[in-house]
């Protein structure tokens, strides 16, 4: 089993944006030292606690501070960007990272972002699939000419072209069976989140059944992102960050998928899931298996369950909103020292 890091770059009360970015860059360096294989940033816009609307800037900064760690976005929201701009920026980052870039793609899930950007959420799937086709053409068939419903370009040759050939590895993140099947048919790795262990296992079985080998991936690869907090004991974990996890998803009741006027039927299961999670406290989340949380022994048991259910890799979400940076560092070190070695050799 492989281990990576997932990071929304959340605000922390009392710390300036510059201090928060510095905290996370130190966290990235420590993740490499501790043996994590990858580090991923999320793209989100316009809310009061997420601070990485353009994660490529953080990838570029992290590239200068690391030498081995794979770096990527989980995800670049394709409907929000012209595919030429995406292809150009990712090609530059491929060189700046020395070929360590990974490209996560998705169609987005937050209605306020779509509304404020004047992007039609009901067409996000079609936009995502068209953008994917355009990206592959831009990377692999220069000079590229493309005429689609949403984007068009003519005689485009990237400078620089990507370092990795035929292009940087693509990863798809999603929450639906359609997304899992679409990803499997193209032979790409699939990452999901916000699922119970049972739901994750069923999704993984469908993905593996539909998987077709590709030049990038010969065998299916399925991962999950999980909020992770490790302390010396279960009780200590509650004492230190229980207040954060008791309201971990509360904000979703206001800003997540609750606006029926702009979402189509494909988003309705996510809408119900987000609203349900928004009402759950720490005990509820633990009872249903949404977290890796507690003592090293408890966390090893929770990770082992995910591995048993087919997780090839885990993206550890260590720094949700309002967890102080010193506690993130402590949890990160405990996870690397006491949990990860039970599943894979770790070479700091």
Walking along the chain (348 residues) 10 residues at a time, the average pLDDT comes out as 96 92 97 98 92 97 98 98 98 98 95 92 96 98 98 98 98 95 98 96 98 97 97 98 94 62 77 87 97 98 97 96 94 98 71
In the numeric block, which tokens belong to residue 42?
């999320």
Can you give the residue ranges of every domain in the chain? 2-342
- Collapsing DSSP to helix, strand or coil, 125 comes out as helix
Q: For position 84, what pLDDT does the model report?
A: 98
Q: For position 254, what pLDDT does the model report?
A: 61
In the numeric block, which tokens belong to residue 5?
């890091």
Q: Return the residue matching tokens 């690869």.
A: 221
In this structure, is the dihedral angle defined by the CA atoms of residues 86, 88, 93 and 95, taken in order, positive or negative?
A: positive
Tell me the C-alpha distance between 289 and 188, whole Å: 26
Is pTM, for the whole model, over 0.85? yes
Contacts of 192 (CB under 8 A, 6+ apart): 173, 174, 175, 180, 200, 203, 222, 223, 224, 225
C-alpha distances in angstroms, 76 versus 50, 85, 88, 155? 15, 12, 13, 24
Q: For position 257, what pLDDT does the model report?
A: 52
Q: For position 256, what pLDDT does the model report?
A: 52
24: how many CB neighbours lie within 10 A of its CB? 25
Q: For position 322, what pLDDT does the model report?
A: 87
Burial class (CB in 10 A: 0-12, 13-18, 19+), 311: buried
- Collapsing DSSP to helix, strand or coil, 221 comes out as coil
What CATH superfamily classification does 2-342 receive?
Answer: Luciferase-like domain (3.20.20.30)
In this structure, is the dihedral angle defined by the CA atoms of residues 220, 225, 231 and 235, taken in order, positive or negative?
A: negative
């Amino acid at each position: 089993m492989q281990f990576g890091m997932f990071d929304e770059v959340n605000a922390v009360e009392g710390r300036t944006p510059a201090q928060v970015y510095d905290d996370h860059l130190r966290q990235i360096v420590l993740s490499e030292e501790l043996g994590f294989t990858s580090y991923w940033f999320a793209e989100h816009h316009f809310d009061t606690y997420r601070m990485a609307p353009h994660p490529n800037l953080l990838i570029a900064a992290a590239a200068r501070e690391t030498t081995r760690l794979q770096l990527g976005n989980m995800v670049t929201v394709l409907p929000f960007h012209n595919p030429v701009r995406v292809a150009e920026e990712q090609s530059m980052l491929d060189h700046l990272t020395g070929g360590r870039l990974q490209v996560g793609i998705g169609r987005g899930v937050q209605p306020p972002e779509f509304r404020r950007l004047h992007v039609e959420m009901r067409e996000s799937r079609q936009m995502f699939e068209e953008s994917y086709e355009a990206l592959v053409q831009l990377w692999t068939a220069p000079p590229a000419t493309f005429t689609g419903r949403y984007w068009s370009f003519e005689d485009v040759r990237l400078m620089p072209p990507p370092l990795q050939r035929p292009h940087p590895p693509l990863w798809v993140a999603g929450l639906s069976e359609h997304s899992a099947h679409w990803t499997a048919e193209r032979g790409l790795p699939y990452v999901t989140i916000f699922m119970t262990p049972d739901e994750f296992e069923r999704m993984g079985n469908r993905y593996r059944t539909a998987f077709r080998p590709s030049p990038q991936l010969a065998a299916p690869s399925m991962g999950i992102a999980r909020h992770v907090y490790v302390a010396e004991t279960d009780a200590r974990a509650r004492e230190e960050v229980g207040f954060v996890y008791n309201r971990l998803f509360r904000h979703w009741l206001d800003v997540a998928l609750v606006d029926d006027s702009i979402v189509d039927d494909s988003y309705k299961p996510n809408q119900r899931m987000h609203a349900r999670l928004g009402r759950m406290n720490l005990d509820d989340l633990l009872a249903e298996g949404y977290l890796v949380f507690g003592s090293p022994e408890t966390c090893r048991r929770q990770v082992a369950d995910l591995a048993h259910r087919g997780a090839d890799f885990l993206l550890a979400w260590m720094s949700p909103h309002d967890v102080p940076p010193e506690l993130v560092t402590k949890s990160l070190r405990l996870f690397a020292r006491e949990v990860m070695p039970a599943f894979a050799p770790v070479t700091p």
